[in-house]
Structure 1
Amino acid sequence: MSTLLSVVASPEKAENKSKKKRDGPRIGVAAAILGETQGKETSKDTSSQGKDGQNGTAGTPSGAASAGTWRSFFGGLFGGRRRSAENTAEFTVDGIRSMLQGRSFTLNDFDLRQTVGTGTFGRVRVVKIKGSRVRIPLALKIMKKSEVINLRQVEHIRSEKDILSTLHHPFIVNMFATFQDQKRLFLILEYVNGGELFALLRRAGRLPQEHTRFYIGEIALAFNYMHSVFVIYRDLKPENLLLDCQGHIKITDFGFAKHVEDLTWTLCGTPEYLAPEIIQSKGHGKAVDWWALGVLMFELLAGYPPFYDENPMGIYQKVISGKFSTPKHIDVKARDLIKRFLTLERTKRLGCLAGGFQDIKDHKWFRGGWSWEALQAKQVAPPFQPAVRSNDDTSMFQQYPESTESSCPKIEKEEQQFFEGF
């Protein structure tokens, strides 16, 4: 049964310069789009793991956690509050879509609840539809037209809306409807209450291999689906990966996604995750997503990205060189898969060879444990289930100052044409 999710994405980065570990989220190279929130993590994060380096492992950055740390981490996070999926995922995505289909909305149609993300030109709030017999929690992404125009993000916002309206996959955020008024744009999305994978990684330092395999597998399935309909994502990172109440991945923030049948040349993404062909303006396609998956796999296993540097230019130089050192605790099969994803020549990169996605599925790191068919059907038990009480629980997100949504500048009449048909 599909669950409800929210869209919160690319937050602002703050590096611990002495430890290679990330104490805060990152923003993309291009001008910030909504979802670039500030330091989101579970409001229950009282652990010092990944902050002071006391739980370090030999041969790794001091923020990386040991297996014993992981056991205590999970015990503390569950905290006796774990509930069955049936209690928190009461409504199917198709049921919600059917209920909302064909309806026209205004902001007054919603009870505005807690903010679960803020960004450069708006915020994401949990909402419920007034007068509805079934009080389903949704996520309302609210964007100021004036800021969208000022930051030259009209094309990205329209692309996000168009792409989300066509994508339907168990590991991708679902969009139900859009509307606008004179000052703002609105996306009605699912609400996912399990928080970000970023928060999980930040608390734990690094993830065990079996957990990483599960998340990488679900993301790979989502990427293969996107590529089959000529969509490239271009913004993979832990901050853009949500967990539903069962613990399954939901990819969010499609502001940098694009329909591409051949190549595109736009420079966008997050520095640590940029493929070399993006940096070198050689034109890029789906191969950049497989590169980014290799970066993510490394970061989940190591606790820091492979091309870490305090300066973006230093990151770019390292990416172009293709050289990185893998921590000793990462096993040989995982090292091989990472190396095949992080291949400089895109035509030789795993996922881009003659075998396509099948080459990824057949890699020895994925053998044993579960089948790809079971993973696609969400029949594989997630390694971690968020401690949420209900489908409208917001405890896994940071608390933000609330807004009345009334203080929003107007735009000129001729500027409204940018948003025709939204």
Structure 2
Amino acid sequence: MSELSKLEHRDSFDIPETELYPYYDPTPRQKGSYRLEDFIIQRTLGTGSFGRVHLVRSKHNLRFYAIKVLNKARIVKLKQVEHTNNEHGILELVQHPFIVNIWGAFQDCANLYMVMDFVPGGELFTLLRRSNRFPDPVAKFYAAEVALALNYLHTHGIIYRDLKPENILLNHDGHIKITDFGFAKSCRHTYTLCGTPDYIAPEILLQGRYGKGVDWYALGVLIFEMLYGLPPYHQPDNNTILLYERISRGPLHIQWPAGFGERAKDLIIHLMDVEPTKRYGNLHRGAQDIFAHSWFAEVDWDKMTKREFTAPYMPQITGEGDASAFECYPEDNASLTYGQAALDPFGYAFPGFEYRAPSAY
């Protein structure tokens, strides 16, 4: 979802992983067969170069969902077909309490539609900017939930590749939901240059082979940003050349703020190590080095996985369809163009999306 708001925010080894605290749900979600007329479109939650995200309500079960609408011609033009199909396929595969659910996907002549959870608390980015920075226990809570989600993805062979506060949503109970899997990939290693500049790991900049270590690097950046308010190498003038130079030099050159906790500092340094083979999460014990770090000493990981801790911030939600945590966007009558009959030269490119031609309505 937050992928569609990047203009408003920030543009975006052979050792087996130890399966720590794996999440298993014996009652997997039931994915349905949907079409556009099953929903009442309420408002826009986000916009971007490919389309927009709408808050919708089902005419059948009256539940609220978020529908991500992507224009097929724009996806093809910008060469994002693989990323789009990856996002859909991975969301179909995963199920975890800290990852947004997908309930179904379909297409018509012009657009793709992904029916997902509506997560009403808005972005962690918004809460962080409003707070300026988080106290240590608050940052630790969100970092722990993110670490559990990343470990789950890695044990299923998935690299996320776009961790940042904009892609972490807050549910009605204050717990997180990671969203926007447009850069995620099912593989052990890849070479693609992608991500958000402040969060890109050094090995991605070298355009060589990299793996899940880039996600653990991004976790280090996230912890720093939550505790300080800005990423460690942030350039206020958007000078990416200088930014990438500082990333390449590594965390030993970070200018640490006064009063920054030593335990948090130690974990960040180990997560952001320039050498992937020396980085926490990539060593022999895998994610255990992260979960067992002294900064997380008071965290009961089993209870954290089961969401038995009370979240530090409870979104002010007045009802199930309350979207007040999201920015207001001009509607521009965009939804009136959905489902119209037209030539469709690109339907073949998205085989995972059930085809719903206008004549089917």
Q: Normalization by structure 2: what TM-score?
A: 0.89
- Equivalent in the alignment of 1:43: none
Asked whether the 8 Å contact 1:145–1:411 carries over to 2, the reply is no
Match of 1:284 among 210, 213, 235: 210
- Equivalent in the alignment of 2:171: 244
Offset at 1:9?
3.2
Work out whether 1:12 is the aligned partner of 2:6: yes
- Equivalent in the alignment of 1:383: 312
Classify 1:171/1:340 alpha carbon distance in 2 versus 1 (closer, same or farther; 3 Å): same
Classify 1:276/1:316 alpha carbon distance in 2 versus 1 (closer, same or farther; 3 Å): same
Matches within 5 A, 1:284-363: 284-309=210-235, 310-322=238-250, 323-363=253-293
Write the deviation string for residues 131-178 of structure 1: whole angstroms up to 9, x where unpaired. Answer: x1x310011111111111111111110000000000100000100100
Matches within 5 A, 1:2-151: 7-9=1-3, 11-12=5-6, 25-28=9-12, 97-98=29-30, 101-103=31-33, 105-130=34-59, 132=60, 134-151=61-78
Amino acid at match of 1:319: I
Classify 1:401/1:94 alpha carbon distance in 2 versus 1 (closer, same or farther; 3 Å): farther
Partners in 2 of 1:236 and 1:227 — Cα distance?
A: 14
Write the deviation string for residues 106-133 of structure 1: whole angstroms up to 9, x where unpaired. Answer: 2122111111111111111111122x1x
Amino acid at match of 1:107: L
Partners in 1 of 2:334 and 2:233 — Cα distance?
A: 42
Offset at 1:412?
5.5
Amino acid at match of 2:269: K
Classify 1:307/1:146 alpha carbon distance in 2 versus 1 (closer, same or farther; 3 Å): same
Asked whether the 8 Å contact 2:89–2:352 carries over to 1, the reply is no
Q: Normalization by structure 1: what TM-score?
A: 0.76
- Equivalent in the alignment of 1:47: none
Work out whether 1:201 is the aligned partner of 2:128: yes
Asked whether the 8 Å contact 2:68–2:114 carries over to 1, the reply is yes
- Equivalent in the alignment of 1:33: none
Asked whether the 8 Å contact 2:85–2:352 carries over to 1, the reply is no
- Structure 1: gaps of 5 or more residues: 1-6, 14-23, 29-92
- Equivalent in the alignment of 1:392: 321
Partners in 1 of 2:26 and 2:35 — Cα distance?
A: 22
CA RMSD of the aligned region, Å? 1.9
Classify 1:320/1:392 alpha carbon distance in 2 versus 1 (closer, same or farther; 3 Å): same
Asked whether the 8 Å contact 2:4–2:50 carries over to 1, the reply is no
Offset at 1:421?
3.4
Match of 1:260 among 159, 163, 187: 187
Partners in 2 of 1:136 and 1:350 — Cα distance?
A: 41
Runs of 4+ in 1 over 6 A off after TM superposition: 93-96, 408-411
Partners in 2 of 1:279 and 1:308 — Cα distance?
A: 16
Classify 1:301/1:388 alpha carbon distance in 2 versus 1 (closer, same or farther; 3 Å): same
Identity in percent? 42
- Equivalent in the alignment of 1:55: none
Asked whether the 8 Å contact 1:146–1:410 carries over to 2, the reply is no
Amino acid at match of 2:216: W
Asked whether the 8 Å contact 1:10–1:239 carries over to 2, the reply is no
Classify 1:207/1:97 alpha carbon distance in 2 versus 1 (closer, same or farther; 3 Å): same
Asked whether the 8 Å contact 1:175–1:190 carries over to 2, the reply is yes
Offset at 1:236?
0.5
Write the deviation string for residues 214-264 of structure 1: whole angstroms up to 9, x where unpaired. Answer: 000000000000000000000001000000011101100000000112x21
State the secondary structure of the residue aligned to 1:405. helix
- Equivalent in the alignment of 2:156: 229
Partners in 2 of 1:389 and 1:410 — Cα distance?
A: 39
- Equivalent in the alignment of 1:35: none
State the secondary structure of the residue aligned to 1:399. coil
Match of 2:99 among 172, 175, 179: 172
Offset at 1:8?
3.0
Amino acid at match of 1:312: T
State the secondary structure of the residue aligned to 1:159. helix
Partners in 2 of 1:311 and 1:251 — Cα distance?
A: 28
